[in-house]
């Protein structure tokens, strides 16, 4: 049986036949019955394909052949041979644990060899947040004399104004916006299609309305098939995640922001600025769509760090 070091030198690309079928069944279960997002499904598929290939290289092709030592070896392989970050290897172990638990529940396997294998704990990284002036500079960066600039302003205002995930904002249709705009709210669908209502501020509303009136119609007219999407690409289709990331970065660069940011940075800034302004952490949790307040509490650490920085820079007796 090959050890982890030998496996590191092999091309682990071909999943085991029997296990591959079980992996597909598990992913179908996550998609249909658990309502997992396409991004989650894609990440789990990569992790489990890697796991199946790892087992195949060890001569294991059936679920009941797998022992706890094999799962532990896979976890070690991820960290030591592939050099994955703790967060990435932990996610893979979580996927493996869920897979084996599903097989037992589905009676496709008699035992769960991953039950006692714990994912490695990644150090909690504080979310990156911009200060208010930096965010305002980014929001003002788009050229509002162009359709692209109107679209970019709408995207940026929605990200910062609602704290929505990029996937939630890009999934919005025009009808999703118009149904709530008069009442001043927006309905977002988060992980697992979980619905939440978030307030829609005046700046975001003005930006979206300007895009709908002066930008979107011309781009929608160029599409081969009409799209219901609120935010469009120049050819009339729904704006892609990759393109949205590029647009956020481009506008940040145009605003002179010297650090690398993405859509998530505006979400983090939304939460941090709310807490700095005195918002209750439970309210922020609800707005962000966090299942647990523990996740939201990371932002309180950001505000404490900010207080320390201000104190150190401003108080004559800080040092």
**Residue positions annotated with a catalytic role:** 165, 191, 264, 267, 290, 299
Report the chain's C-alpha Rg in angstroms.
Answer: 23
Tokens matching residue 224: 């081969």
Rounded distance, CA 273 to CA 306, Å? Answer: 11
Dihedral sign, Cα of residue 114, residue 118, residue 122, residue 127: positive
Task: Return the exposure string of 218-228: e unless at least 16 CB atoms fall within 10 Å of the residue's CB, then b.
Answer: ebbeeeeeebe
Residue 264 CB partners (closer than 8 Å, separation 6+): 127, 165, 166
Looking at residue 54, what DSSP letter applies? H
Please say whether the beta carbons of 144 and 317 come within 8 A. Answer: no
Encoded tokens for 133: 């002036």
**Which residue, among 103, 109, 120, 244, has the nearest Cα to 170 in the 3D structure?**
244
Q: Hey, what are 150's tokens?
A: 């109107």
The tokens for 293 are 């307040």
Tokens of 180: 């709530």
User: Can you tell me the distance from the alpha carbon of 34 to that of 92, in angstroms, rounded to the nearest whole number?
Assistant: 18
Environment class of residue 209 by beta-carbon count within 10 Å: exposed (0-12), middle (13-18) or buried (19+)?
middle
How far apart, in whole angstroms, are the C-alpha atoms of residue 229 and residue 171? 7
- What whole-number distance in Å separates Cα of residue 218 and Cα of residue 222? 7
Reference 163, options 244, 87, 270; nearest CA is 270
């Amino acid at each position: 049986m090959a050890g982890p070091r030998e496996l590191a030198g092999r091309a682990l690309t071909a999943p085991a036949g029997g296990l591959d079928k079980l992996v597909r069944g598990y992913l179908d279960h996550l998609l249909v019955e658990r309502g997992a997002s396409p991004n989650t499904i894609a990440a789990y598929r990569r992790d489990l394909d890697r796991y199946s290939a790892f087992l195949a290289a060890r001569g294991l092709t059936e679920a009941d052949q797998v022992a706890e030592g094999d799962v532990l070896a896979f976890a070690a392989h991820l960290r030591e041979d592939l050099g994955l970050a703790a967060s990435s290897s932990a996610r893979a172990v979580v996927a493996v644990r869920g897979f084996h638990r599903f097989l037992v529940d589905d009676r496709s396997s008699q035992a769960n060899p991953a039950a006692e294998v714990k994912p490695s704990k990644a150090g909690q990284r504080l979310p990156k947040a911009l200060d208010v002036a930096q965010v305002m500079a980014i929001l003002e960066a788009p050229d509002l004399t162009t359709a692209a600039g109107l679209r970019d302003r709408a995207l940026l205002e929605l990200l910062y104004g609602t704290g929505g995930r990029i996937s939630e904002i890009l999934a919005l249709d025009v009808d999703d916006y118009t149904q709530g705009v008069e009442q001043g709210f927006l309905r977002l669908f988060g992980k697992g299609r979980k619905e939440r209502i978030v307030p829609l501020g005046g700046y975001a509303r003005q930006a979206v309305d300007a895009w709908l009136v002066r930008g979107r119609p011309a781009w929608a007219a160029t599409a081969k098939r009409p799209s219901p999407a609120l935010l469009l690409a120049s050819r009339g289709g729904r704006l892609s995640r990759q393109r949205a990331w590029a647009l956020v970065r481009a506008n940040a660069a145009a605003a002179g922001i010297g650090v690398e940011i993405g859509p998530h940075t505006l979400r983090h800034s939304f939460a941090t600025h709310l807490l700095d302004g005195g918002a209750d952490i439970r309210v922020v949790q609800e707005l962000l769509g966090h299942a647990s307040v523990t996740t939201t509490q990371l932002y309180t650490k950001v505000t404490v760090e900010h207080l320390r920085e201000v104190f150190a820079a401003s108080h004559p007796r800080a040092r």
